[in-house]
Copies of this chain bind each other. A is one copy, B any other.
Amino acid sequence: MSLDPVWWAGDGVGYIDQRRLPAALEQRTARSTAEVVEAIATLAVRGAPAIGIFGAYGVALTAQTLSPEDFAAAAARIRAARPTAVNLAWAVDRVLAAAPHYLREAEAIHAAQRASDRLIAQAALELFPPRGGVATHCNTGPLATGGDGTALGCIIAAHRAGRDVHVYVDETRPLLQGARLTAYELREAGVPATLIVDGAAALAMRAKGIALAIVGADRIARNGDAANKIGTYALAIAAKYHGIPFYVAAPCSTIDLRLASGTEIPIEERGPEEIRAFLAASAAPPEFPAYNPAFDVTPADLIAGIVTEAGIARAPYEESLPRHVRGAALSQVTSP
Protein backbone atom coordinates (compact mmCIF):
# COMPACT_ATOMS: atom_id res chain seq x y z
CA MET A 1 0.00 0.00 0.00
CA SER A 2 1.35 3.42 -0.90
CA LEU A 3 1.76 5.80 1.98
CA ASP A 4 2.39 8.78 -0.27
CA PRO A 5 0.84 11.53 1.83
CA VAL A 6 0.37 14.16 -0.92
CA TRP A 7 0.07 14.26 -4.71
CA TRP A 8 -1.04 16.46 -7.55
CA ALA A 9 -4.57 15.49 -8.54
CA GLY A 10 -5.07 17.64 -11.66
CA ASP A 11 -7.86 19.76 -10.23
CA GLY A 12 -6.55 19.88 -6.67
CA VAL A 13 -3.98 18.52 -4.23
CA GLY A 14 -4.58 14.98 -3.05
CA TYR A 15 -3.67 13.89 0.46
CA ILE A 16 -4.16 11.16 3.02
CA ASP A 17 -6.16 12.49 5.95
CA GLN A 18 -3.67 11.52 8.65
CA ARG A 19 -6.11 12.40 11.43
CA ARG A 20 -8.06 9.25 10.54
CA LEU A 21 -5.10 6.83 10.64
CA PRO A 22 -4.73 4.04 11.60
CA ALA A 23 -8.50 3.46 11.75
CA ALA A 24 -9.01 4.48 8.12
CA LEU A 25 -6.78 5.27 5.13
CA GLU A 26 -8.83 8.08 3.67
CA GLN A 27 -7.71 9.92 0.54
CA ARG A 28 -9.05 13.40 0.03
CA THR A 29 -8.52 16.28 -2.37
CA ALA A 30 -8.09 19.95 -1.46
CA ARG A 31 -9.67 22.00 -4.25
CA SER A 32 -9.16 25.52 -2.90
CA THR A 33 -6.56 27.56 -1.06
CA ALA A 34 -8.76 27.46 2.04
CA GLU A 35 -8.86 23.67 1.96
CA VAL A 36 -5.08 23.53 1.59
CA VAL A 37 -4.63 25.82 4.59
CA GLU A 38 -7.14 23.87 6.66
CA ALA A 39 -5.52 20.52 5.91
CA ILE A 40 -2.17 21.87 7.13
CA ALA A 41 -3.56 23.68 10.19
CA THR A 42 -5.56 20.68 11.40
CA LEU A 43 -2.66 18.25 10.79
CA ALA A 44 -4.57 16.27 8.20
CA VAL A 45 -1.25 16.72 6.37
CA ARG A 46 1.73 16.96 8.70
CA GLY A 47 5.46 16.35 8.83
CA ALA A 48 7.77 19.22 7.95
CA PRO A 49 8.83 18.01 4.48
CA ALA A 50 5.31 16.83 3.56
CA ILE A 51 3.67 20.14 4.40
CA GLY A 52 6.35 21.85 2.31
CA ILE A 53 5.43 19.73 -0.72
CA PHE A 54 1.72 20.07 -0.02
CA GLY A 55 2.10 23.85 0.30
CA ALA A 56 4.04 23.95 -2.96
CA TYR A 57 1.25 22.09 -4.78
CA GLY A 58 -1.19 24.37 -2.98
CA VAL A 59 0.44 27.41 -4.56
CA ALA A 60 0.19 25.75 -7.98
CA LEU A 61 -3.50 25.10 -7.33
CA THR A 62 -3.99 28.70 -6.20
CA ALA A 63 -2.39 29.98 -9.40
CA GLN A 64 -4.92 27.94 -11.39
CA THR A 65 -7.97 28.90 -9.39
CA LEU A 66 -7.53 32.51 -8.28
CA SER A 67 -7.19 35.75 -10.17
CA PRO A 68 -3.69 37.28 -10.29
CA GLU A 69 -4.71 40.07 -7.89
CA ASP A 70 -5.74 37.56 -5.20
CA PHE A 71 -2.87 35.15 -5.77
CA ALA A 72 -0.13 36.71 -3.61
CA ALA A 73 -2.30 37.00 -0.49
CA ALA A 74 -3.55 33.45 -0.89
CA ALA A 75 -0.02 32.09 -1.23
CA ALA A 76 0.92 34.01 1.91
CA ARG A 77 -1.93 32.29 3.77
CA ILE A 78 -0.56 28.91 2.77
CA ARG A 79 2.94 29.98 3.81
CA ALA A 80 1.64 30.97 7.29
CA ALA A 81 -0.60 27.96 7.91
CA ARG A 82 1.85 26.62 10.50
CA PRO A 83 4.79 28.61 11.86
CA THR A 84 7.48 26.24 13.16
CA ALA A 85 8.48 24.03 10.21
CA VAL A 86 10.57 26.21 7.92
CA ASN A 87 10.05 23.77 5.04
CA LEU A 88 6.61 25.23 4.36
CA ALA A 89 7.83 28.80 3.92
CA TRP A 90 10.88 27.56 2.04
CA ALA A 91 8.81 25.56 -0.43
CA VAL A 92 6.25 28.32 -0.98
CA ASP A 93 9.02 30.86 -1.59
CA ARG A 94 10.74 28.54 -4.00
CA VAL A 95 7.59 27.89 -6.01
CA LEU A 96 6.77 31.60 -6.13
CA ALA A 97 10.28 32.34 -7.41
CA ALA A 98 9.72 29.89 -10.28
CA ALA A 99 6.70 31.82 -11.64
CA PRO A 100 4.92 30.98 -13.83
CA HIS A 101 6.16 27.34 -13.63
CA TYR A 102 4.53 26.74 -10.24
CA LEU A 103 3.44 23.15 -10.75
CA ARG A 104 6.72 22.11 -12.36
CA GLU A 105 8.63 23.55 -9.40
CA ALA A 106 6.33 21.83 -6.87
CA GLU A 107 6.95 18.53 -8.63
CA ALA A 108 10.70 19.24 -8.57
CA ILE A 109 10.54 19.83 -4.79
CA HIS A 110 8.64 16.58 -4.36
CA ALA A 111 11.24 14.70 -6.43
CA ALA A 112 14.11 16.37 -4.57
CA GLN A 113 12.59 15.29 -1.25
CA ARG A 114 12.42 11.67 -2.40
CA ALA A 115 16.07 11.86 -3.46
CA SER A 116 17.03 13.55 -0.18
CA ASP A 117 15.33 10.86 1.88
CA ARG A 118 17.33 8.14 0.12
CA LEU A 119 20.60 10.04 0.67
CA ILE A 120 19.76 10.68 4.33
CA ALA A 121 19.09 6.98 4.91
CA GLN A 122 22.36 6.04 3.21
CA ALA A 123 24.32 8.54 5.30
CA ALA A 124 22.70 7.35 8.54
CA LEU A 125 23.40 3.66 8.04
CA GLU A 126 26.79 3.89 9.76
CA LEU A 127 25.08 5.12 12.94
CA PHE A 128 23.21 1.84 13.45
CA PRO A 129 24.94 -0.92 15.37
CA PRO A 130 24.50 -4.54 14.20
CA ARG A 131 21.75 -4.91 16.79
CA GLY A 132 20.12 -2.78 19.43
CA GLY A 133 17.12 -0.76 20.44
CA VAL A 134 16.39 2.52 18.68
CA ALA A 135 14.34 5.28 20.28
CA THR A 136 12.32 7.68 18.17
CA HIS A 137 9.63 10.29 18.62
CA CYS A 138 6.65 11.47 16.58
CA ASN A 139 6.38 10.40 12.95
CA THR A 140 9.12 10.82 10.38
CA GLY A 141 8.27 8.10 7.88
CA PRO A 142 6.80 8.23 4.37
CA LEU A 143 3.67 9.96 5.67
CA ALA A 144 5.82 12.82 6.95
CA THR A 145 7.94 13.51 3.88
CA GLY A 146 6.40 12.27 0.65
CA GLY A 147 9.47 10.07 0.22
CA ASP A 148 10.85 7.26 2.38
CA GLY A 149 10.96 9.43 5.49
CA THR A 150 13.75 11.07 7.46
CA ALA A 151 14.53 9.49 10.86
CA LEU A 152 12.06 6.66 10.35
CA GLY A 153 13.32 6.26 6.80
CA CYS A 154 16.82 5.75 8.26
CA ILE A 155 15.47 3.11 10.66
CA ILE A 156 13.55 1.23 7.97
CA ALA A 157 16.57 1.36 5.66
CA ALA A 158 18.82 0.00 8.41
CA HIS A 159 16.34 -2.83 8.98
CA ARG A 160 16.36 -3.62 5.25
CA ALA A 161 20.16 -3.53 5.27
CA GLY A 162 20.13 -6.33 7.83
CA ARG A 163 20.62 -4.42 11.07
CA ASP A 164 18.78 -6.12 13.92
CA VAL A 165 16.92 -3.05 15.14
CA HIS A 166 14.05 -2.95 17.60
CA VAL A 167 12.28 0.39 17.66
CA TYR A 168 10.87 1.94 20.84
CA VAL A 169 8.17 4.26 19.57
CA ASP A 170 7.07 7.17 21.76
CA GLU A 171 3.32 7.49 21.39
CA THR A 172 3.84 11.29 21.15
CA ARG A 173 1.08 13.06 22.97
CA PRO A 174 -1.04 15.02 22.44
CA LEU A 175 -1.86 13.96 18.87
CA LEU A 176 -0.25 10.51 19.04
CA GLN A 177 1.62 10.58 15.76
CA GLY A 178 3.89 7.87 17.17
CA ALA A 179 1.06 5.51 18.15
CA ARG A 180 -1.12 6.25 15.13
CA LEU A 181 1.37 6.78 12.30
CA THR A 182 4.83 5.49 13.22
CA ALA A 183 3.46 2.22 14.63
CA TYR A 184 1.39 1.87 11.45
CA GLU A 185 4.35 2.50 9.15
CA LEU A 186 6.65 0.18 11.09
CA ARG A 187 4.09 -2.58 10.85
CA GLU A 188 3.74 -1.99 7.10
CA ALA A 189 7.54 -2.20 6.82
CA GLY A 190 7.82 -5.27 9.06
CA VAL A 191 10.25 -3.67 11.51
CA PRO A 192 10.16 -5.08 15.08
CA ALA A 193 8.89 -2.35 17.36
CA THR A 194 7.26 -1.65 20.71
CA LEU A 195 5.01 1.26 21.59
CA ILE A 196 5.66 3.17 24.82
CA VAL A 197 4.19 6.21 26.51
CA ASP A 198 6.47 9.23 26.21
CA GLY A 199 7.26 9.10 29.92
CA ALA A 200 8.64 5.54 29.58
CA ALA A 201 11.43 6.39 27.13
CA ALA A 202 13.92 7.08 29.93
CA LEU A 203 13.17 3.74 31.59
CA ALA A 204 13.41 1.97 28.22
CA MET A 205 16.86 3.53 27.75
CA ARG A 206 17.89 2.14 31.12
CA ALA A 207 16.23 -1.28 30.83
CA LYS A 208 15.86 -2.20 27.16
CA GLY A 209 19.28 -1.85 25.55
CA ILE A 210 18.61 1.25 23.47
CA ALA A 211 21.76 2.07 21.51
CA LEU A 212 20.63 5.00 19.41
CA ALA A 213 18.03 7.77 19.41
CA ILE A 214 17.10 9.39 16.11
CA VAL A 215 14.38 11.95 15.37
CA GLY A 216 13.36 14.41 12.68
CA ALA A 217 13.21 18.20 12.84
CA ASP A 218 10.91 21.03 11.85
CA ARG A 219 13.58 23.72 11.84
CA ILE A 220 17.29 23.71 12.60
CA ALA A 221 19.10 26.91 13.51
CA ARG A 222 22.63 27.73 12.33
CA ASN A 223 24.15 26.54 15.60
CA GLY A 224 22.44 23.14 15.36
CA ASP A 225 19.59 23.77 17.82
CA ALA A 226 16.71 21.73 16.42
CA ALA A 227 12.98 22.32 16.84
CA ASN A 228 10.91 19.17 16.70
CA LYS A 229 7.68 17.74 18.10
CA ILE A 230 7.12 18.46 21.78
CA GLY A 231 8.86 15.82 23.88
CA THR A 232 11.97 15.61 21.70
CA TYR A 233 13.95 17.77 24.10
CA ALA A 234 13.06 15.50 27.02
CA LEU A 235 14.13 12.48 24.96
CA ALA A 236 17.46 14.15 24.15
CA ILE A 237 18.11 14.90 27.83
CA ALA A 238 17.34 11.29 28.76
CA ALA A 239 19.66 10.06 25.98
CA LYS A 240 22.45 12.28 27.27
CA TYR A 241 21.95 10.99 30.81
CA HIS A 242 22.26 7.40 29.57
CA GLY A 243 25.20 8.06 27.23
CA ILE A 244 23.11 7.20 24.16
CA PRO A 245 23.91 9.15 20.98
CA PHE A 246 21.03 11.35 19.86
CA TYR A 247 20.80 12.16 16.15
CA VAL A 248 18.58 14.42 14.07
CA ALA A 249 17.77 13.46 10.46
CA ALA A 250 16.37 16.16 8.18
CA PRO A 251 16.76 17.52 4.67
CA CYS A 252 18.69 20.75 4.20
CA SER A 253 15.39 22.54 3.52
CA THR A 254 14.83 22.22 7.29
CA ILE A 255 17.99 24.19 8.09
CA ASP A 256 17.39 27.91 8.55
CA LEU A 257 20.78 29.59 8.41
CA ARG A 258 19.16 32.99 9.09
CA LEU A 259 18.58 32.00 12.72
CA ALA A 260 21.59 32.09 15.05
CA SER A 261 20.06 29.74 17.63
CA GLY A 262 16.93 27.89 18.63
CA THR A 263 15.64 30.74 20.75
CA GLU A 264 14.72 32.47 17.47
CA ILE A 265 12.57 29.59 16.22
CA PRO A 266 8.85 30.39 16.54
CA ILE A 267 7.16 27.62 18.54
CA GLU A 268 3.54 27.02 17.65
CA GLU A 269 1.18 26.82 20.62
CA ARG A 270 -1.96 24.88 19.85
CA GLY A 271 -5.31 24.77 21.61
CA PRO A 272 -5.56 23.31 25.13
CA GLU A 273 -8.37 20.97 24.09
CA GLU A 274 -5.78 18.71 22.44
CA ILE A 275 -4.47 17.93 25.93
CA ARG A 276 -7.73 18.11 27.85
CA ALA A 277 -9.34 15.59 25.54
CA PHE A 278 -8.20 12.76 23.34
CA LEU A 279 -9.84 11.65 20.11
CA ALA A 280 -13.04 13.22 21.41
CA ALA A 281 -12.85 11.50 24.83
CA SER A 282 -12.64 14.04 27.64
CA ALA A 283 -9.83 13.58 30.15
CA ALA A 284 -9.14 16.66 32.26
CA PRO A 285 -11.80 18.91 33.79
CA PRO A 286 -13.30 21.20 31.15
CA GLU A 287 -11.67 24.64 30.99
CA PHE A 288 -8.64 23.52 33.04
CA PRO A 289 -5.67 25.58 31.76
CA ALA A 290 -3.28 23.70 29.51
CA TYR A 291 0.04 24.68 27.92
CA ASN A 292 0.25 23.07 24.52
CA PRO A 293 3.47 23.86 22.66
CA ALA A 294 3.51 21.77 19.50
CA PHE A 295 7.31 21.74 19.40
CA ASP A 296 10.36 22.21 21.56
CA VAL A 297 13.95 23.06 20.79
CA THR A 298 16.75 20.61 21.49
CA PRO A 299 20.01 22.47 22.12
CA ALA A 300 22.85 21.53 19.82
CA ASP A 301 24.97 20.25 22.70
CA LEU A 302 22.53 17.35 23.11
CA ILE A 303 22.75 16.39 19.41
CA ALA A 304 25.50 13.97 18.36
CA GLY A 305 25.00 14.75 14.69
CA ILE A 306 22.54 16.02 12.10
CA VAL A 307 21.99 13.70 9.14
CA THR A 308 21.09 15.47 5.92
CA GLU A 309 21.18 14.43 2.28
CA ALA A 310 24.74 15.84 2.27
CA GLY A 311 25.94 13.45 5.00
CA ILE A 312 26.31 13.73 8.76
CA ALA A 313 26.97 17.22 10.12
CA ARG A 314 28.90 17.34 13.39
CA ALA A 315 29.63 20.15 15.85
CA PRO A 316 30.61 22.94 15.47
CA TYR A 317 27.40 23.21 13.49
CA GLU A 318 27.98 26.84 12.52
CA GLU A 319 30.68 25.43 10.24
CA SER A 320 29.16 22.13 9.15
CA LEU A 321 25.57 23.18 8.45
CA PRO A 322 26.37 25.91 5.89
CA ARG A 323 28.53 23.36 4.02
CA HIS A 324 25.59 20.97 3.97
CA VAL A 325 23.18 23.59 2.71
CA ARG A 326 25.52 24.65 -0.07
CA GLY A 327 26.15 21.04 -1.09
CA ALA A 328 22.45 20.22 -1.13
CA ALA A 329 21.60 23.30 -3.16
CA LEU A 330 23.99 22.08 -5.83
CA SER A 331 22.73 18.52 -5.84
CA GLN A 332 19.01 19.21 -5.67
CA VAL A 333 16.77 18.78 -8.65
CA THR A 334 15.91 22.26 -9.88
CA SER A 335 13.44 23.23 -12.54
CA PRO A 336 14.75 24.80 -15.72
Chain A residues close to B by CB (< 8 Å): 22-23, 137, 168, 170-174, 176, 179-180, 183-184, 187, 193-204, 206, 208, 230-235, 237-238, 240-241, 272, 275-276, 278-285, 288-293, 296
Contacts and interface: CB of A to CB of B under 8 A. Distances in A.
A200 B198 CA distance: 10
A289 B234 contact: no
21 contacts: A168-B291, A171-B283, A173-B198, A179-B276, A179-B283, A184-B285, A187-B288, A196-B292, A197-B230, A197-B292, A198-B199, A199-B231, A199-B235, A200-B230, A200-B231, A202-B237, A203-B293, A234-B234, A237-B237, A238-B238, A279-B282
Contacts of A237: 202, 237-238, 241
A304 to B, nearest CB: 16
A23 B282 CA distance: 8
B199 A170 contact: yes
B202 A284 contact: no
B23 A180 contact: no
B197 A174 contact: yes
A194 B241 contact: no
B291 A202 contact: no
Contacts of A233: 202-203, 206
B198 A272 contact: no
Nearest to A184: B285
Contacts of A137: 199
Contacts of A168: 291
How many chain copies does the complex carry? 2
Nearest to A296: B203
A293 B176 CA distance: 19
B234 A195 contact: no
A247 to B, nearest CB: 18
Nearest to A174: B197
A124 to B, nearest CB: 23
A94 to B, nearest CB: 31
A197 B172 CA distance: 9
A281 B278 contact: yes
A296 B179 contact: no
Contacts of A296: 200, 202-203
Residue of A168, A234, A276, A280 with most partner-chain B CB within 10 A: A234
A205 to B, nearest CB: 9
Contacts of A241: 237, 240-241
A199 B230 contact: yes
A194 B233 CA distance: 19
Contact of A173 (B199, B206, B284, B291): B199
A281 B281 contact: yes
B275 A197 contact: yes
Given A168-B291, A285-B187, A197 B173 contact: yes
Given A180-B284, A198-B198, A278-B279, 20 more contacts: A137-B199, A171-B275, A173-B197, A179-B288, A183-B284, A187-B288, A195-B276, A195-B288, A196-B291, A197-B198, A198-B199, A199-B231, A199-B232, A199-B234, A200-B292, A204-B291, A237-B238, A238-B238, A279-B281, A279-B282
